[in-house]
Each structure stands twice: as C-alpha cells, then as structure tokens.
Structure 1
Amino acid sequence: MIRPILALTLFFTLSFSSQAQHDFDELYESNAVFKDHIESHMANYQLFGQESILEIKIKSDFKKLNNKKDTSKYQKAVIEYAYNDTVTIHRKIGVRARGNFRRANCSYPPLKLNFPKKKAKLDLLKSFDKMKMVGNCKSGNTYEQYLLSEYYVYKMLNIMTDSSFRVRLIRVNYYDTGKKRGKIESQRYAFLIEPTKAMADRLKRHIDEETKFHYGQFPAENRHMVTIFNYMIGNTDFSILARHNMKTIMPNVKSDYILPLAIPYDFDYCGMVDPPYAIPADILPIDDITQRLFRGPCEPFEIYQPTLTKFRTKKNQLYDLISNATLLDKKTKVRMTSYLDSFFETLDNESRLKKELAVNCK
C-alpha cells in the first residue's frame, strides 16, 4: 500500500527502481491508479503547512553557478527526494544565484529554483513556478545557526499574522556535477520560502508591483504589524512604500476602498539574527544592527495600541518557539531570548516606547 505522497511529488519525476524510471506527467496520464491516488491525496495538501524537515539532493555545477556574472539566467540542475527505500523522486529544474551582496561575500549564495510548469498535466503543479531557497552563507555550525535564526524569525511572523510568507525547513545534499565523477560537496540546512503567488492566493489576493501607495492606504493593523515586528527583530532593511524586501498584495474583489497589504521578507540583516556581514545603512543613526530603530509612519501613540496588545498576547508563543527549537544551540537560544527580552521591556515602559516610536518615525 502506498502511503500519502508528499507535495514534492508534484515537482519531481518518479522512479520505482534504478532500472525503471517514470516521468511524473507520463505516469499521471497513463496509470489510472497513480492518477487517482495523486488527486485524492493532493487536493488539500500544502507544502508550507508541514513542520517536518524534507531531505533533498540538488545536482548542478555549483562552481560555475557561483562564478556566473549574469545571474538572470538559470543553469541546468536536478533535484531529488527519497520517497522511501525503493522510490526516488527527481525532476530537472533550473537554478540561479540571487542576492548581489551575498554572492560577493558568501561561499554559498541563496538560490532561486525554477520548476518547469508549462507542460504540467496536473493543475496543482502549474501553480508552482519559481521558488526562493535560503541556505548558509558559509560552512560551519556558526553560520548554520544564523540560517536557523532567520528561519525562526519567519516563524515568529507567522505567529503574529497570517499575512506573511510561510517557510519550510529542508536538509540539502549539494552534489557538484562539475567535479570529476561528481561529488557531494556538503550537506546543509536551508529553507524554502512560499512563492509570492501562492502566498497571495492563500490570502485571496493578487500581487501588485506597480501602484504607488501612501501609508494611509495600508490598513492600520497591517502597517503597524510590519513596522512593530521589524522593530522587535531589529530590522531596518525594508521599506513598505519602496517595496524593499516587501511585497504588496491587493484584494481580488475590486472596491472603491483600496486595502493593499504589505508582506515583508528577507530577515538576515536583523539584530535577532546578527550575522557578521550585516551592517546598518550609512544614512541611519545607528552603529550596529542590534540597535533597534523604528522605521514606521508618524502616528498618534494610541493608534498603535491594538497591535502592541497583540504582541503582548503572543509573547509566550514567541518565547516558546525559541525554547522548543531543538536545532538551535544553547548560545543562539540565549541570544535570541535576550533580544526578545529587551523588546518586551521596552513594550512595558510606556514613556520609553512613545519616544522610540516618535523619534525616527517617517
């Protein structure tokens, strides 16, 4: 009896043995049992609704990838997932490096995975296209802890609001095909970020990349959540209006009352993570990213109260997330917990909080 197939079967090619390999689409069309099984188990499955760690292998010429000057073009790669002892799922994809700074300063730049979808037979497969994968900047436990810290920052935002990108932790074997006879370069944690379209669809919205907005057009609950959350984690590397590390999504139903939502992402430059390569922008009045700086709009303090109350309500969940994170080492847990402590100490000091929200607001 075949157990329920994970969502990654939507991405890859199915192989029942090393001698007989089957393309997913071909098998889906030709095998009625397989087709019925997929349709019955995939109807309500969400790749980013799972907490288990996926083990995958990515094969590509990584030396060539890291040395490429033109990062807009994808190069060939294969991604594999061991379904069980006899079944391996694999699919040809495209990969490219992303992030100019990290490409120049990291041994392993973050990747964008391009899953072919034009000829996909299953409708659910067509909803996936390009997906961001965040990995270690460099090898070693220290940088792995930075990666895991950022992953848990995403999970913190998920606790605070559904209007956020979901993430899925994975364990990756990097197989360098550029080496003689191929070579496993390393095995490292990484995480996948929910594709923007998938996030927008989940929230019954669509992406808007062109309309110019002002702060007042974003619901108070949304703009306050984004700015207070980034203040909590010590992140200044964002802009709601300029869409810097930010996506804007709009309601699918047209209305005279426009309610865009701002969805932040990329948190490796925050004080909660505190990697050595992260420094604040020269124009900011701080010397270190661990120094908090409020980057939200100037509004009466009373308007922020519902959002501030929500942070107090979710306080224990945020602490529990860190304390129950078995992959974080003791040093990282202490650092992240202490950083949370300082935020909630400010939250409980009204005069100090008023000053923090007023001095550098925009």
Structure 2
Amino acid sequence: MIKQTIFSILFLVSLTLSAQISLSSDRLYEDNIPLKIKLGYSNKKMNKKTNDSTYIKVPMEFFHDDKWNTIEVSLRARGNFRRSQCYFPPIKMKIKKDVIENTLFEGNKTMKLVMPCKLEKENNDNVLQEYIAYKMYELSSPYHFKTRLVNIDFSEPKGKKVKKFELNAFLIEDDKRVAKRFEGKVLERYMHPLAMDAKTSVQNALFQFMIGNTDFSTAYQHNGKLLYINKLIIPLPYDFDMTGWVNPSYQVVNETLNISSVKDRKYRGFKRDVEVFNKVRDEFISNKSTLVDLLNSYENDFDDPKEFAESKKFLESFFKVIENDKSFDKQIVSAARIK
C-alpha cells in the first residue's frame, strides 16, 4: 500500500511539475509491481559477439494479463567499464514495432536492461539500490527516465548444461521517448554546463551529491543526456551504480577529486545564483519524507537487511548536510565549480 501511494505521488509530480504528453510507451512503466520475464543467452557470447551494430536475437517471455507472452528481442552488450568488469553486462534491447504492437511493450522499440554486475550475494540489492535512485530522481526533477523493475528467470547455456539465475533487473526507456514526452529533442554535442538551464542543472547536481556520484559529466554527456525543450537545455542523468548510494564492490574512485571512496560526497555542479541553490535546496528538504518513504517501501525487497540500513544511513547523512546552513554553504554553494 505504501509503495502504491509513492508511485501515485510520482505520477502526480510528473503531471504537475511540467507540461508533458502521454505516450503509448508509458504503459510499461505505470505498474510498481516487478515484471516477471524469462530470458536466456550466453554472457560470454554477448560480450564478445555484439557491438553497436551487431545484436543477438533471442525470445523473451513476460508475464502479463495472467499469462506468459513471448516476443523476439535483439540484444547487445553496452557500456565500457561494466562490460569489461561484469559477469552480466548491461544490455541494449531493440524490438520490432510490429512485434510489440498491442502488447505491454508497445512504443518501446529501444530500451536498456540493467542487470547485476558480479556473482556476489549483494548483486540483486545493488540493482535494487540503483533502481531506487532512478525513482528518487523522479521526485527531484520532472525530466527523468521512466523505469520498470523486473524479476528475471535467467538461463545461461554452459556446454551441455544450463545454469539458472534469479535476478533483479530493471528496464529504462529510450532517451528519445523522454524528449518526445516534452515535445523536445535529444542534443548530442558538447555543451558547457553554464549554458544549461540553471534550476534543472542544480537539481541534477544536488541529486548526484545526494547519491554520492562523481562519475558523470553533463558537458560531455558521460552518464547523462541533454534535452532541448522550450529553448532550454536540460540535463538527463542515468547510470547510478558507481555511487556511494550503491557502493559496489567494483567501484573506481576518482582520486583527482581528493576523495578516497565513492561514499565521500563531492559537489560537481557549477556556480549559480544563490537563489537557485536555495530554491532547489528547499525542494529537496520538503521532499525528505517522501524520499525516505520511497526507500522504506522497498525494505522487504532487500536480500540483506544491512544493505537497506546502509542506504537509509547514507540518505540521512545527505539531509544532515543540506538542512544545516553552514554545511550547505561549505559543501555545496562554496564548493560549486567555476570551470
């Protein structure tokens, strides 16, 4: 019940904060219940045999309307770091338009599928943490990716045998769907952050600070996209695994920022008018209970209670910073970049 209430709030926030149009693709993301799917392929083959133009076709089953449905999907491995480090590479998925017509996936010809990385006990919890980060950003900015949690019955051929996995994962809509929702377009070129919309830039940067993320660049669109909407340039972030919020075992720390762990927060946004900082700060503080409730609604979905406790502790530590005037000025306003 709590989780459904949170999703209702997310829906209302999306409607009220900005003008946007409904798309046929939205249907997939409306339900907060994890979608059950069955998928199978060789991870080794996926890593070695696919690239930007080469996909592997496989059947995918999904449970909807009280029955299993089957569609053909084309998959390839994506991402550079996780592709080289992970047992399960993150996936780019394409589906033909006529295949998904009149199905739950209608309108979603292209998506990303985020999988666990390592074969570790916390792998499913790490995926859940990253998924929750996407849902938290929905509460922080109207310009966000829609996502859908999935439970995968995964089969991997190993010679004459088949290895089975039960995995948490989630689907992310294509960036062009986000742009279309706001009747805008995706920009794919270098853009200095100070040329971007001030408020949404601070929303993005403060959110990244909240989850302990320094692995992004709005200028070069590293782990983010840019939208052009109503003559404004809007940052659209994604990939939240290399963060203090998730704290993965495969983390890589940017030592040039004088931090020793991804759990060490560092504000990476640029200087803006103090009024903009304060307005966004007030929005985050007013959203505190909703963000905490969102996290709490997933407590029973964590395999390890310690992972949930760490997430809650990390979120609370963020609010200790922004609720204190001196800390907010020192770690955010005065720490903002000028180049």
Structure 1 and Structure 2 fold alike (TM over 0.5): yes
Quote the residue 2:114 is aligned against. 134
Over 3 Å counting, the alpha-carbon distance change for 1:105 and 1:345 in structure 2 is same
User: Structure 2 matches for 1:1-362, cutoff 5 A?
Assistant: 46-68=27-49, 70=51, 72-83=53-64, 87-117=67-97, 127-177=107-157, 179-180=159-160, 183-210=162-189, 212-251=190-229, 258-325=231-298, 326-328=300-302, 329-357=304-332, 358-359=334-335, 361-362=337-338
Q: What's the secondary structure of 1:207's corresponding residue?
A: strand
Unaligned 5+ segments in structure 2 are: 1-22
Over 3 Å counting, the alpha-carbon distance change for 1:359 and 1:173 in structure 2 is same
Q: How many residues align?
A: 313
How many percent identity over aligned positions?
Answer: 30
Runs of 4+ in 1 over 4 A off after TM superposition: 42-45, 69-72, 118-126
Deviates more, 1:185-194 or 1:115-124: 115-124
Using the alignment, how far apart are the partners of 2:100 and 2:245 within structure 1? 41
RMSD: 2.5
CA deviation vs aligned residue, 1:25-55 (integer Å, no higher than 9, x gap) = xxxxxxxxxxxxxxxxx96962112101111
* 1:238 to partner: Cα distance: 0.9
* 1:155 to partner: Cα distance: 0.8
CA deviation vs aligned residue, 1:62-115 (integer Å, no higher than 9, x gap) = 332234374641112111123467x43112221111122112221111111111
Contact 2:192–2:219 at 8 Å: present in 1 too?
yes
Over 3 Å counting, the alpha-carbon distance change for 1:168 and 1:262 in structure 2 is same
Q: What's the secondary structure of 2:139's corresponding residue?
A: helix
TM-score of the pair, normalised by structure 2: 0.84
* 1:330 to partner: Cα distance: 2.1
Deviates more, 1:351-360 or 1:258-267: 351-360
CA deviation vs aligned residue, 1:201-226 (integer Å, no higher than 9, x gap) = 2223221213x433343222201100
* Structure (1 or 2) with the larger CA radius of gyration: 1
Using the alignment, how far apart are the partners of 2:24 and 2:131 within structure 1? 27
Q: What's the secondary structure of 2:257's corresponding residue?
A: coil
CA deviation vs aligned residue, 1:101-159 (integer Å, no higher than 9, x gap) = 11222111111111123787669977422210001112343111111111111111111
CA deviation vs aligned residue, 1:169-206 (integer Å, no higher than 9, x gap) = 001112235643x7353121100012111222222322
Greater relative contact order, per chain length (Cα 8 Å cut-off, separation 6+): 2
Unaligned 5+ segments in structure 1 are: 1-41
Using the alignment, how far apart are the partners of 1:143 and 1:178 within structure 2? 21
Contact 1:248–1:263 at 8 Å: present in 2 too?
yes
Using the alignment, how far apart are the partners of 2:34 and 2:50 within structure 1? 33
Using the alignment, how far apart are the partners of 1:266 and 1:75 within structure 2? 23
TM-score of the pair, normalised by structure 1: 0.79
Using the alignment, how far apart are the partners of 2:211 and 2:105 within structure 1? 35
Over 3 Å counting, the alpha-carbon distance change for 1:301 and 1:173 in structure 2 is same
- Amino acid in structure 2 at the alignment position of 1:248: L
- Amino acid in structure 1 at the alignment position of 2:193: Y
Over 3 Å counting, the alpha-carbon distance change for 1:119 and 1:159 in structure 2 is closer
Over 3 Å counting, the alpha-carbon distance change for 1:301 and 1:235 in structure 2 is same
Over 3 Å counting, the alpha-carbon distance change for 1:339 and 1:76 in structure 2 is same
Contact 1:60–1:78 at 8 Å: present in 2 too?
no
Using the alignment, how far apart are the partners of 1:228 and 1:215 within structure 2? 14
